[in-house]
Amino acid sequence: MKRRTFLTGAAALGLTAGTSAARAVAAESPPSGGITALPDEIATALARFRATIPVNFDRAYVENVVVPYFLSSFYEGERPKLPLIDLILSKENALPQDLWGLIYSEWQPTPEEGSTVFLQGLENRGENNLRKRIYFSAMTTDLYKPMYSEKVSAFFDELMDPKFADIPFMRHYLDYYFDLYWDLHVGVKGNAIPAEVREIGEAFNTVLAYRNPLQPIVYENYMAVRKRLDFLRTWIDERVEDIANGRIANPEKTLAWYWLKNAGDGTHFSKKDIIFECFHNFVALSQWGNSLYGIMSRLSENDGDKAVRSSFQKTMSGDFDHANGAPYTPLELFVMELFRTISPNSGSISAIHDARDSAYGESPHRSLGLSFERHSYLITPHTATSFSRELWKEPDTFDPDRYREVPTSADIDEEKCRQVGLARCPFDMTSFEVKDGRKVSITNSGFGTVFGVADGQPSPVCDFAGFAPFGFSYRRCPGEQLTIRVFEDFLRKVWKEKIIFRKLPLTQPGRVPIGPTAVIDDNIGFSR
């Protein structure tokens, strides 16, 4: 096949002038190296691909979502032996290319409109991971009880009111979830949340859950998100203003309040960034849905996991809320083990560089002007790491006590780094004092893992590669301890009120999008 035929196929695909992919195929002069035509296989593949795209899809959607989705590659990375991901695997713009249109109207990174720490390389976060520390100031464990737990408990009380017994749980959860989401972020719930704001959240989650952009449900929801993006930004902006000016009750019970207070001069956390984080967290908190489903499935009376059920019984029959000098309480250990085994987030995603640039000169794709390999990502796996036989003696056993034997982030200092064979700690240990009136600092381990110290009392996390569900090092999840506390509250309620979960006898359960890449049969209910 000659280049001309290829271009016809490319144009029909939406690879038109002005897009980088189009530039790749539309170069007028023949590429260097004597190659004048592209192989037949590509034309055939393009024609087959073209035939799968529904005709009603918006052209910009095809160009910016469908095509990049199919030109992206995800590679399985190694299971780390230490809880570290090397900086060469970058967080900078490490988002699958086809998802940018969900967060930016230009379909591509537009940091002037605000950005999230989740998509920033360490080199762009300010000194010593400053942006992450500002973010973390809203997440330290001292805040949970006085500021957030009432909201979380009220949410679970409503959700598990006896009148909702024996109905499919997850659809019901999703109907209320945004009340908790916006209450935590900006102190707004119920009728004060506009329909558009609920709709965009639901549409966002639906795209993440179904994922394949060729499915009409993904297309419709993707476009629904884009239609409401400006409305959402303006709405959050006004809510953040209300918090800044004390126009809501208890502004200190919102995440945004801590970001406002600790943003310094805003260089590394501007007001636009606060707005952006408030809705980028759609991605983060959507994982509570599949975590909840995973926990209920394991505790289910007729379809659960025997080992998990008996461990829950044992934990709750003891002194489950007291650490007695240890780093974690028994209930926290139980929740950690649930997360290791459920692993709601399958891997840490990194942007990677084409090694041929440095090792073998320019890559053929660049010299030919083809950008087909532009979107490549590496996934550092969580489940496989958490179940590694090199890291745990009995990885398959459900054993919350395993974390008593491995280091916490407060243990990883110079000496510990030397013990594991390093000449020095990969990260300097530094502290960021919060500016919101609390005596709290945000510090880090020698591996870069960030954690809080309140009134001199550290609240470390497990800093061991075998505990992978929240990622690793400087880029580890800042919402980990908040998440663990939320699920502790859930389990306390389940235990106290003798709530039981059961698989419901439904012939055709509803399909419900409960988290990233997770659409499940909604077939679990509760009763007392």
CB nearer ligand HEM, residue 133 or residue 211: 133
Asked whether position 91 contacts ligand HEM by CB under 6 A, the answer is yes
Handedness of CA 113, 119, 122, 125 (dihedral sign): positive
- Judged by DSSP in three states, 518 sits in strand
Q: What angle do CA 484, 236, 209 make, to 5 degrees?
A: 55
Q: Which of residues 111-130 bind ligand HEM (CB under 6 A)?
A: 117-118
Task: Return the residue matching tokens 């965009």.
Answer: 200
Asked whether position 259 contacts ligand HEM by CB under 6 A, the answer is no
CB nearer ligand HEM, residue 177 or residue 288: 288
Distance (Å, whole) CA 463 – CA 161: 38
Asked whether position 135 contacts ligand HEM by CB under 6 A, the answer is yes
Distance (Å, whole) CA 377 – CA 54: 27
User: Which residue's Cβ lies closest to ligand HEM?
Assistant: 479
CB nearer ligand HEM, residue 297 or residue 348: 348
Asked whether position 281 contacts ligand HEM by CB under 6 A, the answer is yes
Which amino acid makes up residue 357? D
Quote the least distance from Cβ 38 to ligand HEM, whole Å: 35
CB nearer ligand HEM, residue 254 or residue 523: 254
Which amino acid makes up residue 424? R
Asked whether position 471 contacts ligand HEM by CB under 6 A, the answer is yes
Instruction: Lay out the sheet containing 457-459: strands in order across.
Output: 432-433, 440-444, 450-454, 457-459
Check if the beta carbon of residue 117 is closer than 8 Å to that of residue 277: yes
DSSP β-ladder status, 511-515 and 518-521: antiparallel
CB nearer ligand HEM, residue 132 or residue 402: 132
Handedness of CA 491, 494, 495, 496 (dihedral sign): positive
- Judged by DSSP in three states, 117 sits in helix
Asked whether position 470 contacts ligand HEM by CB under 6 A, the answer is yes
CB nearer ligand HEM, residue 76 or residue 497: 76
CB nearer ligand HEM, residue 19 or residue 120: 120
Residue from 291, 311, 445, 459 that binds ligand HEM (CB under 6 A)? 291
Residue from 284, 331, 391, 499 that binds ligand HEM (CB under 6 A)? 284
Give DSSP secondary structure letters for 314-330: HHHHS-TT--TTSSS-H
Asked whether position 253 contacts ligand HEM by CB under 6 A, the answer is no
Asked whether position 83 contacts ligand HEM by CB under 6 A, the answer is no
Quote the least distance from Cβ 123 to ligand HEM, whole Å: 13
Residue from 188, 274, 477, 524 that binds ligand HEM (CB under 6 A)? 477
Residue from 137, 287, 315, 481 that binds ligand HEM (CB under 6 A)? 287
- The window from 2-10, 160-168, 246-254, 471-479 that contacts ligand HEM (CB under 6 A) reads 471-479
- The three-state (H, E, C) secondary structure of 50-65, written as one string: HHCCCCCCCHHHHHHH
Count of chain residues binding ligand HEM (CB under 6 A)? 25
- Judged by DSSP in three states, 36 sits in coil
The helix (run of H) or strand (run of E) holding residue 134 is: helix 130-136
Give DSSP secondary structure letters for 56-95: TS-HHHIIIIIHHHHTEEEEE----SSS---TTSB-TT-S
CB nearer ligand HEM, residue 21 or residue 138: 138
- The window from 67-75, 220-228, 280-288, 316-324 that contacts ligand HEM (CB under 6 A) reads 280-288
Quote the least distance from Cβ 255 to ligand HEM, whole Å: 7
Binding-residue pattern over the window 323 to 352 for ligand HEM, x denoting contact by CB under 6 A: ---------------------xx--xx---
Distance (Å, whole) CA 419 – CA 427: 16
Instruction: Please give the structure tokens belonging to residue 100.
Output: 């940018």
Provide the binding-site residues for ligand HEM, judged by CB under 6 A. Answer: 91, 117-118, 132, 135, 281, 284-285, 287-288, 291, 344-345, 348-349, 469-471, 475-479, 482-483
